[in-house]
Amino acid sequence: MSTLFAGISETGETRFIGDVPSGLACGCFCLSCSSRLEAKKGTVRIWHFAHVAGQERPECLAGALNLLRRLALQILSTSSPFPIPAHLEHVTDTRPHIYGRRSISKAIESRLMLASGAAITWADSFGPKALPPRTHPIGTAPLANGAQLEIFVDVRAENLGTSLGDEAAGNPNAFKLLCWCPAPKPGEVTSTKIATEYLQHALRWIWIYFPDKDGQRSAALAEVNALADEANRRLEAEESMRKQQRQGMLNSTSNTDAFEQLRRFALSPPLVTPKSVQGWSWAPDAKPHASFFLFPLKDGGAWVVYQTKAGSVRVLPWPNRWDGWDEFFPPSVALLEPNRRSLIAKDVTTVTDFIGNLRKGTFNDSDPSKLPGFPPDL
């Protein structure tokens, strides 16, 4: 359970528990319900604020997270120039995967620029006013491509917090960038200084909505689909040739040679092995035809990363749960599942960026049985 680690002063300024004197002298109020707060700075429990009258409600804890969100906005709005991160995307073919054909994908990278002379307009984060809700942009700017940039800030633990629910809502032509930070652990953030350092370390940028304004995505999709069509035609032709061969041999079974040929043909392995429709017991949530990435590490151990049906990314220690796997990633990159069997992350890029130079290679296959170390012991 989280603790109330921040309140607001009479003038509406954010105060963390370590910033104020003990007891009622703290002079703080709950951002959510405006109750008077008492600073509890004992030696047994984690330092926290308590409501003087009545009980705190779940909204009150959300109010403390909102204060962290406001501090994040203060950091962003005072950092200059504001760096717009590049948008990376893998476009994958949408054609049928006949005869076990692998997916064909292409990486595209886009960079956005602010309109000439434009600056970001930030929501007021210093006054006593509450921030707009997390589903509203707290920073906007005109882009050089004529569209609008919208910046959202969210501090949240559940479901990785990397989605606002309906990303296309609001302005459907705006490019939407989310600055996300995981909620701190109880007792992790006790002062403005520590909160600032925590945010600077844990903030992640995620593009949550990236319209295909210049047609780059549709062009890449047309390209991979054309390649997929070509591959499908080739596979169909190969299969139809096999059928003809089979028919020809059946028609001349009186011929001993042909009969021997047919026997060999029946014993030979099939041209392509169709992928199991059940998938893999250790990866039951894998998206059909998804790529499995394997990253062996220089110091031993390895990671396998694949996309799930739900659209997030599963991160598995490979080929077993090696020592220290559960402490490898910070929660801002990948979160340990409650069953402590695997991790979940937002995207492959964030995970590979973090692994960086610690890996000694990369394998990528839509058939995990081709990966070194298969079958895993998970």
- Using CB under 5 A, list all residues that contact Zn ion: 30, 32-33, 35, 56, 60
Shortest distance (Å) from residue 28 CB to Zn ion: 11
User: How far apart (Å, rounded) are the C-alpha atoms in residues 324 and 43?
Assistant: 31
Q: What is the DSSP secondary-structure string of 45-114?
A: SPPEEEESSS---HHHHHHHHHHHHHHHHHHHHHSSSPPPPPEEEEEE--S--GGGPPP-EEEEEE---B
User: How far apart (Å, rounded) are the C-alpha atoms in residues 337 and 377?
Assistant: 18
Shortest distance (Å) from residue 63 CB to Zn ion: 6
Helix (H, G, I), strand (E, B) or coil at 309: coil
Shortest distance (Å) from residue 75 CB to Zn ion: 25
31/305 with CB nearer Zn ion: 31
Shortest distance (Å) from residue 16 CB to Zn ion: 16
30/84 with CB nearer Zn ion: 30
Helix (H, G, I), strand (E, B) or coil at 224: helix
Shortest distance (Å) from residue 183 CB to Zn ion: 17
Shortest distance (Å) from residue 136 CB to Zn ion: 22
14/105 with CB nearer Zn ion: 14
User: How far apart (Å, rounded) are the C-alpha atoms in residues 209 and 165?
Assistant: 11
Distances (CA, A) of 364 to 152, 292, 295, 370: 33, 6, 9, 9
186/279 with CB nearer Zn ion: 186
30/179 with CB nearer Zn ion: 30
User: How far apart (Å, rounded) are the C-alpha atoms in residues 141 and 144?
Assistant: 10
Longest dimension (CA), the chain: 104
54/269 with CB nearer Zn ion: 54
- Determine the straight-line distance between the first and last CA of the chain, rounded to whole angstroms: 30
Q: How far is CA 361 from the centre of its chain?
A: 22
Shortest distance (Å) from residue 55 CB to Zn ion: 9
CB within 8 Å of 237: residues ≥ 6 apart? none
User: How far apart (Å, rounded) are the C-alpha atoms in residues 156 and 62?
Assistant: 9
Shortest distance (Å) from residue 155 CB to Zn ion: 17
